[in-house]
DNA sequence: GCCAACGTTGGC
DNA sequence: GCCAACGTTGGC
């Protein structure tokens, strides 16, 4: 099992929004960056995912979700009406993908970006290193465990 | 709202 | 294939 982190702007889709989805499950669509896409494709069913709130007052990891369906073509990329439409994408020859994420639990306290930056043990976490703008990125086991322990689930 | 750090696009 | 121009992300 692998660990990941996905980002979402809470103004457009928050952890609560995921909880409120049917079966607390949502198709994670709209990724239009190749590296982030490759990370989506590397996800397996059962992988655990930190849910991170970005571009907001207090950027933080706020919860945990699970990959419940492995990657499949992003339907929003084939929809000309959709802002994520890509004419070079098709069902037959897909360029962009989604996974399904299911809510698992909220952290009892959010793990803020500013706190993460203060932790020696997390000094090389992908979230604050090169390529940190990716909307989906891998998290090392040790970093995952450190954060989960500190969140006192 | 600013801007640094990227990623993408397209002319050549 | 280079690189300038442009767009996006996301912290501050």
How many Å does it take to go from CA A34 to C1' B6? 13
What token pair was written down for A12? Answer: 């457009």
Residue nearest to nucleotide B8 (CA to C1'): A33
Q: What is the pLDDT of residue A83?
A: 82
**Whether the predicted pLDDT of A89 surpasses 90:** no
Banded pLDDT at A133 (limits 50, 70, 90): confident
Model confidence pLDDT, tens digit, residues A115-128: 999 999 999 999 99
> What fold characterizes domain A3-151?
ph1033 like fold (3.10.590)
| pTM for this model (two decimals) | 0.93
Q: What is the pLDDT of residue A79?
A: 85
Model confidence pLDDT, tens digit, residues A1-59: 999 999 999 999 999 999 999 999 999 999 999 999 999 999 999 999 999 999 999 99
With a CB cutoff of 8 Å and minimum separation 6, the contacts of A88 are A95
CB atoms within 10 A of CB A20: 11
* Chain C footprint bases within 7 A of protein beta carbons: 8-12
Domain map (residue ranges) of chain A: 3-151
CB < 7 A to strand B: residues 77-96, chain A = none
How many Å does it take to go from CA A102 to C1' B5? 32
Pick from A55, A58, A45, A148: nearest CA to A102: A45
Q: What is the mean pLDDT of residues A84-98?
A: 87
How many Å does it take to go from CA A93 to C1' B1? 40
Banded pLDDT at A153 (limits 50, 70, 90): low
* Chain B footprint bases within 7 A of protein beta carbons: 5-8
Q: What is the pLDDT of residue A129?
A: 82
């Amino acid at each position: 099992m692998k660990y990941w982190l996905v980002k979402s702007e809470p103004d457009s889709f928050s952890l609560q929004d995921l909880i409120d989805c049917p079966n607390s499950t949502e198709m994670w669509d709209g990724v239009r960056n190749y590296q982030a896409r490759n990370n989506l494709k590397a996800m397996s069913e059962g992988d655990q995912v930190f849910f991170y709130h970005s571009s907001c007052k207090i950027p933080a990891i706020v919860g945990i979700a699970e990959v419940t369906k492995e990657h499949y073509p992003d339907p929003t990329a084939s929809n000309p009406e959709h802002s994520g439409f890509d004419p070079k994408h098709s069902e037959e020859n897909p360029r962009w993908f989604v996974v399904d994420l299911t809510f698992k639990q909220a952290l009892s306290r959010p793990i803020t970006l500013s706190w993460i930056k203060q932790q020696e043990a997390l000094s090389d976490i992908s979230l604050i290193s090169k390529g940190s703008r990716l909307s989906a990125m891998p998290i090392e086991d040790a970093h995952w465990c450190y954060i989960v322990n500190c969140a006192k689930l």
